[in-house]
Structure 1
Amino acid sequence: MLKKILILSLLLPVYLLSSTINIAVATNVSYAMDELKKEFHNLYPDINVRVTLGSSGKLTPQIKNGAPYDVFMSANMSYPKSLYKDKIAITKPRIYAQGSLSYLSAKKQDFFKGVQLLKDKKIKKIAIANPKTAPYGKAALEALKKSGVYNQIKNKLVYAESASQSLAYSISAADIGFVASSALYSPKMKKYKEGIHWSDVNATLYTPINQGIVLLKHAKSNREAKIFYDFILSPTAKKILLKFGYKVL
């Protein structure tokens, strides 16, 4: 009995020091998140990070309805701005990365044609994230309309719930699709080659995808959540985001 008490007394300080923070994260960041979490854990081993992934447009109403998230990493700035306006976010939205859009196909494609490639008769289905809830889908729709091909290809569009689902559709249920460029830097995507299976979408066709982060009111007295928030804005995190194809400001 004495031995058990001794063991518990030794473990108790570790238990008291450890804590868990809940982070709501746009799915496009999922590819970089493992490495971000790993580096954060190296720096702060007593802080556990629990990540919930989803489209920014679906995570936002969850937060407004009281979901107990401490930090929100959105795929654009409009959703964190909305939370700040409603006083649910306690920090002004800040840009932590700038995302970009790419085409992806499991088959070899002639990407020299650019967006005009989508009009090819061989391309019958085009994956795109839901533009109503996913900023990368909104950017893709903007690119289609600005390039003047939307009316010709709109019946080919297959809508996914999020950027990550659009990635899955692009190499399975569709002939080609619009994806977050960050996904292409995942180790799982190594077999898909630039210029053969994927290519960047002309950045002049869509508004820059400034991705925003906010600290939420649920974390008002949570020192650990503030530490994570500061980490994402740090040079260390930015270096990791660069590796996954993001631009950092």
Structure 2
Amino acid sequence: MRSTTSRRAAAAALLATASVLAAAAPAFAHVTVQPGTASQGGFTAVALRVPDESDTASTTKLEVALPTDHPVASVSTEPVPGWTATVEKTKLATPLKTDDGDEITEAVSRITWTAGGGAKIAPGQFQDFRISLGPLPTDTDKLVFKALQTYDDGNVVRWIDESTAGQPEPQHPAPTLTLTKAAAGGDGDHPAAASQAAPAAVAKPSSSDTTARTLGIVGILVGVAGTALGVLGLRRRNG
């Protein structure tokens, strides 16, 4: 009886471990905006971070739609070796006003990066696609960049689902840049300040920190599973 109970406990522990790992894995594989926040009205540089989730296929194209309901007047791309960036613009229903009183009648609405030669994102790898943009709108608290990720086996993953506060994260959340109120007296709304801050803004998070957190979680879960198996073995010897 004790042996049966022990086996059930061990199986439950293993199932719980597998469930947590399965739930945690997708969180590391979304297409995201790095960093995820910027100041309203300012200029910034961000990276669209694209991981390859497939075990067998490589990523060959990324299409990103910029919101036209909250357009950004100035958008530029950073060259990515081996990739070609194509920028599309859309005529604005309501022109944007510049500080000089000029009107901007069109804005970037889509950017498509296409891999050439051997510049694919292979399984287990990621690529940053960096853009500079501003001034950021002041009438919204976020910018949603809906994205399509195309693999060389023809599969297309649509990162277009918008997250809702208080609700579970969707399976394919759209990359989102959260906009915060600008600090009083700050210089984040000046292009010069943005150019100086760009390297820090697009800096990759420490790989050692990410690895440590990931390994820590996995270590705890493996420890739980190991303990359960140890208890099972002890029960068998005693039984």
Q: TM-score, normalised by structure 1?
A: 0.26
Higher strand proportion (structure 1 or 2): 2
The structure with the larger Rg is 2
Higher helix proportion (structure 1 or 2): 1
Q: TM-score, normalised by structure 2?
A: 0.26
